[in-house]
Chain A
C-alpha cells in the first residue's frame, strides 16, 4: 500500500533510527512510503505556542501538499507532528471561517481529505502480515509500551484508540512475540519539549516513568515519539541512580524490525545512548519460530504484570 510519508525534522536529526527502522520494516509489511515533496515544518516546536494561525497553517500546508501529490493518508511517525497535523485538520473542520483564512494563507484549496496517521496506527493495521513474517519472535521479552501524551490526546482529535486506556501499542508488541507488561505511567508526560528549558521537570517526570516500567518488570520500553525517546534514552544516564540497570528504549518500529529478522544496524539500534546490544543478542538468540503462527506467548506473565492488558489477551485469541 502506498502511503504519504512525512518524516518531519526529528527523523532527519535526533530520531534518524526511527526513519531508518521504519523504511526497513515497510517493505515486508507491504508499505510503500512516499516522502512528500517539499514538506515543511509542522509547527510543533514554537509555532503552536506563539501563533494560532501558524499552528494550523503549517500542518495544513503539508496536508495540502500530500493531497496534491495524490495521497489519502499521511504517515507522520513523530507523535508531535502527528498531533499537529491531526489538530489542524480538526480545527479547520470545526471552524468554517478558519478554513477560509487557511485557504487564503496557503493560496490553494484545502479540502482536508488526507487523513494523518501515526506510527502505531499504521503498524497495527498490519498485524496479520507482521505475525506471518515474524521469523524471529521476541519471545520472553517484556516490554513497557509508552504512549506519552501526544499520541492519544486530545480524544476528539486523535480518535484511533481509547484516550484513557489505549491498547494499540500492546497489540503490536504482542504480535512481535514479546509480552507487554501492565504498568501505570503509559500515558504520563515525559517533560516533552521542556527538555532544554526545564531540565529539572524532565528529570522528575522521566524518572518516574522509568521507575514504574522497571518495577513492572520490563526489559525495555517501546515508544512512538522522538521527544519521548530523547528524554528517556538520551537523558537516562542522568536519571538512573547508582547501581540501577539501564533500560533500553526502543521505537516500536525497531522492535517490529527485530521480529521481522532485520539486523540491528539496519534498524539504527547502534544510535541509542542506552546500550541495546544485550537486548539485541537476546533477540537474536531466540530461535526462529514458525513464521506462519503468531509468536507463542510466554507461559508465566511477568511478575508485576498481573492481568496483561485486555488488548494483549484479545490479540492472543486471534
Chain B
C-alpha cells in the first residue's frame, strides 16, 4: 500500500493569497494512501525541505507530492531533498498550484478547488511511480565546430586552448568567413585581415585542432557526450598531403575569368584557385564546373582538354580522379557557427516569402551594389586594389547613396526583423568613402539609426560630424539607371519633401539572412530554427548559446544578425559551456526513457518508424537452445530522449515511457473525475 506525503506550499503570499492551502492539505489528506499532508510557508527553503526529509524518515513515505510552483522551477530541488532522505528521487513529483492556479485566478473558492484537483491528480500518479535510476553516460571530450567564420574560429581556439580536442568543419576551401572579406571594421576602423589572419593561422597550427576545410557535415547520430558525425570531404582535386601552396598551378590555369565569390563577383579568379591569398589552408581547389579538363570530360571528349595545372605542379599534387570521401568523428559536443548571407534583391529568391526589389531593378543595375561588394571595392586586397571605382565603367563615384534597411524591417519583402549591424557598417562605409574620395558626397537614407553598443553612437556621429555624411530619414521608392547616373527617388519624411538624387553609385544595406541550407543542417542536428531559418537558442535570456538539443550550442550570425564583437562573445560563451560539459567524466540523464516488454512485442516496428532519434533497435529473442523465436524492438536508453511517441503508436502497448506510463496517465485522468 502506498504511503504518500503531500506538502502544500504557500510560497509566501504567492499561493496563499488565492489558494486556501490548509484546506488543500486537509482535503488531500483524506485520500486513500495519503498518510501525511501538511502546508508550510516556503517548502523550498531549508526548513521546508527538512519537513519533507523528516516525514520520509518518520512516516516511511513511499512517495512525495509537493504542491507548489512549476516543476520547471523546483522539481530538481525537491527530488534532491527526497533523495537526501533515502527515497528514490523519481518517487517525488510536483503539483503546479502557483503558475497554473494561484497566479491566474482571483476567485479563492475556485482556485482552491482547482488546487485540490491538481494535487489529487499528482497523488494518483505518484502512487504508481516506480523507482528509477538516473542514466550515466561517458563524455567524449572532443568538440565539433561547424563553420569557420570568426565565430567558429574563436570557439575552436577557446576550446583547444582549454584543453579540448576540436574538429573544425568549414564548407568553403578556406576558413575566415565574411570577416575576411571586410576592409576595415567598426567601431575602431582597424583592418579586418590584420586582426583575423593571425587567428586563422593559429587555428591551422594548433595541435589540438583538426581543420577540415572544404568539408560538410553529412549526418549526425547520438546524443550529448556521444555524437557520431559523418563528414563529407569534398574532392579538392588536389592532394593536400603533397601540395605546398606555391601557386604555380593557378598561374598555369587557362580559365581566368570565373567571377570570384570572395570578391563578390566583382573580380575574377582561375578555375583552380584559393579564394584569397591569405587563405587557410593555402591549398587550391579545382572548381570542376569551370575547369577546362572537367568540362571536356563532361562533353565526353576522349583526350584531356587541358592539364596545364598538372604539368605545372612540381610535386604531382593535382589529382583529377579524387572523389568525395567520408570520415566519421566521435565528439561530445557541437558548436554551430554557420553565419549569414545577404538578402538578394533579385527576382529569384530562396524562399516563397521573400520578394526581392523590383523597385530597385531586381539587381540588374550594375552600379547598384550591396554592402559586401562595397567592402571588396574598399579593400586593399580587393579587385580594384582599394581604389573606389564603380563597377559599370571604372569611374570614381562622386556621389554615393546608401540605402539602409533593404529587406530588413520590411514585412512586405518577407523580413520583419532588424539586421542590427547595417546602421554601423553604413556609417563605416561613408567614412571609408570620404577617406578615399575626399570630395565625395555620401547620402544615407535611413529609418532609424540604431547604434547601441560601446562606442557605437559616437561612431555614427563621427560619420556625420567629421566625414560629412548626409543622413536623410526616409525610404527610397525607386532606383534606376538613367544614362550615366543612377536615379534615386526617395522621400525625406522629416522635411516632408520628395528627394531625387542623381547618384554615381548606390549601396544597399541588405538584410542578413541565415545561410542557404541551414534548415537541412538544423534538422540533421535536431535543433530548432525560427521561421527565417535562424537557429533557436534554448532561452533568449538565460540560455543564449545553448540549443534545445542537449550538447549542441550556437554562436555568431547563424543565430540572429550579429556583429563581430557579439559573435566572438557568443563563441567564447559556447566554448565555456562545452568545456563545462567536458569537465564531467560521466553525464547524468533523467531516466525518462522508453522500455519494451519483449514478451508482448510483436515486432511490427511502428515505433522504429516514428522515433525521431533512431533509438529503437532490433533484438533477437531466442529459446534456450538458441533457436530464433522472434525479433522484437528494443530501446537504446542512451539514445532515447523520452518523447513517448513510440508508446502512443504501439498497437500492442508493449512499449512504455518510464515516468509517463499509461497506467500513470489514466490514473491522472481518472483522478479528475472523482
Interface of A toward B, CB cutoff 8 Å: 155, 162-165, 184
- Specify the chain A residue showing the minimal Cβ separation from B478: A184
Chain A residues within 8 Å of B362, by CB: 165
Report how far A172 CA is from B480 CA in the complex, Å.
24
- Specify the chain B residue showing the minimal Cβ separation from A306: B481
Q: Are B359 and A184 in contact (CB under 8 A)?
A: no
Most chain B CB within a 10 A radius of its CB, from A155, A163, A164, A165? A164
Least Cβ–Cβ distance between B353 and chain A, in angstroms? 13
Give 10 CB contacts A-B under 8 Å: A155-B412, A162-B358, A164-B357, A164-B358, A164-B359, A165-B358, A165-B362, A184-B478, A184-B480, A184-B487
**Which residues of chain B (273-289) have a CB below 8 Å from chain A?**
none
Chain B residues within 8 Å of A184, by CB: 478, 480, 482, 487
Chain B residues within 8 Å of A155, by CB: 412
Q: Are B478 and A163 in contact (CB under 8 A)?
A: no
Chain A residues within 8 Å of B412, by CB: 155
Chain B residues within 8 Å of A162, by CB: 358
Least Cβ–Cβ distance between A76 and chain B, in angstroms? 25
Report how far A94 CA is from B667 CA in the complex, Å.
45
Report how far A276 CA is from B145 CA in the complex, Å.
72
Report how far A43 CA is from B55 CA in the complex, Å.
78
Chain A residues within 8 Å of B358, by CB: 162-165
Chain B residues within 8 Å of A164, by CB: 357-359
Chain A residues within 8 Å of B487, by CB: 184
Least Cβ–Cβ distance between B395 and chain A, in angstroms? 20
The 6 closest A-B pairs by CB, nearest first: A164-B358, A165-B358, A164-B359, A184-B480, A162-B358, A165-B362
- Specify the chain B residue showing the minimal Cβ separation from A165: B358
Report how far A165 CA is from B357 CA in the complex, Å.
9
Report how far A162 CA is from B358 CA in the complex, Å.
8
Report how far A162 CA is from B362 CA in the complex, Å.
12
Chain A residues within 8 Å of B359, by CB: 164
Describe A's contact surface by its main secondary structure.
loop
- Specify the chain A residue showing the minimal Cβ separation from B482: A184
- Specify the chain A residue showing the minimal Cβ separation from B357: A164
Q: How big is the B interface, by class?
A: 10 to 19
Report how far A89 CA is from B487 CA in the complex, Å.
37
Report how far A155 CA is from B411 CA in the complex, Å.
12
Chain B residues within 8 Å of A163, by CB: 358
Report how far A184 CA is from B358 CA in the complex, Å.
12
Most chain A CB within a 10 A radius of its CB, from B347, B357, B358? B358
Mark contacts of B358-394 with chain A using CB atoms, 8 A cut-off: 1 yes-contact digit, 0 otherwise.
1100100000000000000000000000000000000
Report how far A165 CA is from B361 CA in the complex, Å.
8
Report how far A55 CA is from B561 CA in the complex, Å.
42
Report how far A163 CA is from B357 CA in the complex, Å.
10
Report how far A155 CA is from B480 CA in the complex, Å.
21
Known: A163-B358, A184-B482. 6 other contacts (CB 8 A): A162-B358, A164-B357, A164-B359, A165-B358, A165-B362, A184-B480
**Which residues of chain B (470-512) have a CB below 8 Å from chain A?**
478, 480, 482, 487
Least Cβ–Cβ distance between A191 and chain B, in angstroms? 13
- Specify the chain B residue showing the minimal Cβ separation from A188: B478
Least Cβ–Cβ distance between A157 and chain B, in angstroms? 12
Report how far A162 CA is from B478 CA in the complex, Å.
15
**Which residues of chain B (412-439) have a CB below 8 Å from chain A?**
412
Report how far A170 CA is from B520 CA in the complex, Å.
40
Chain B residues within 8 Å of A165, by CB: 347, 358, 362
- Specify the chain B residue showing the minimal Cβ separation from A185: B478
Mark contacts of B322-360 with chain A using CB atoms, 8 A cut-off: 1 yes-contact digit, 0 otherwise.
000000000000000000000000010000000001110
Report how far A163 CA is from B347 CA in the complex, Å.
13
Report how far A164 CA is from B360 CA in the complex, Å.
9
Least Cβ–Cβ distance between B256 and chain A, in angstroms? 28
Chain A residues within 8 Å of B347, by CB: 165
Least Cβ–Cβ distance between B144 and chain A, in angstroms? 43
Least Cβ–Cβ distance between A29 and chain B, in angstroms? 29
Report how far A165 CA is from B362 CA in the complex, Å.
9
Least Cβ–Cβ distance between A126 and chain B, in angstroms? 26
Mark contacts of B178-195 with chain A using CB atoms, 8 A cut-off: 1 yes-contact digit, 0 otherwise.
000000000000000000
Chain A residues within 8 Å of B480, by CB: 184
Report how far A275 CA is from B487 CA in the complex, Å.
33
Least Cβ–Cβ distance between A169 and chain B, in angstroms? 15
Chain A residues within 8 Å of B478, by CB: 184
- Specify the chain A residue showing the minimal Cβ separation from B347: A165
Report how far A184 CA is from B477 CA in the complex, Å.
12
Least Cβ–Cβ distance between A120 and chain B, in angstroms? 17
- Specify the chain A residue showing the minimal Cβ separation from B364: A307
Report how far A162 CA is from B359 CA in the complex, Å.
11
Report how far A165 CA is from B358 CA in the complex, Å.
5
Least Cβ–Cβ distance between B349 and chain A, in angstroms? 12
Report how far A39 CA is from B555 CA in the complex, Å.
62
Report how far A162 CA is from B357 CA in the complex, Å.
11
Report how far A151 CA is from B412 CA in the complex, Å.
18
Chain A residues within 8 Å of B482, by CB: 184
Report how far A66 CA is from B239 CA in the complex, Å.
74
Least Cβ–Cβ distance between A69 and chain B, in angstroms? 36
Report how far A184 CA is from B361 CA in the complex, Å.
10
Least Cβ–Cβ distance between A259 and chain B, in angstroms? 28
Least Cβ–Cβ distance between B510 and chain A, in angstroms? 16
Chain A residues within 8 Å of B357, by CB: 164
Report how far A282 CA is from B347 CA in the complex, Å.
38
Least Cβ–Cβ distance between B406 and chain A, in angstroms? 13
Report how far A163 CA is from B478 CA in the complex, Å.
13
**Which residues of chain B (599-632) have a CB below 8 Å from chain A?**
none
Least Cβ–Cβ distance between B643 and chain A, in angstroms? 37
Report how far A236 CA is from B482 CA in the complex, Å.
24
Least Cβ–Cβ distance between B601 and chain A, in angstroms? 51
Report how far A155 CA is from B359 CA in the complex, Å.
13
Least Cβ–Cβ distance between B436 and chain A, in angstroms? 31
Least Cβ–Cβ distance between A106 and chain B, in angstroms? 31
Report how far A164 CA is from B482 CA in the complex, Å.
18
- Specify the chain B residue showing the minimal Cβ separation from A155: B412
Report how far A11 CA is from B357 CA in the complex, Å.
35
Least Cβ–Cβ distance between A307 and chain B, in angstroms? 9
**Which residues of chain B (428-466) have a CB below 8 Å from chain A?**
none
- Specify the chain B residue showing the minimal Cβ separation from A184: B480
Least Cβ–Cβ distance between B82 and chain A, in angstroms? 52
Least Cβ–Cβ distance between B501 and chain A, in angstroms? 15
Report how far A165 CA is from B412 CA in the complex, Å.
15
Report how far A164 CA is from B487 CA in the complex, Å.
16
Report how far A184 CA is from B359 CA in the complex, Å.
10
**Which residues of chain B (50-77) have a CB below 8 Å from chain A?**
none
Least Cβ–Cβ distance between B30 and chain A, in angstroms? 49
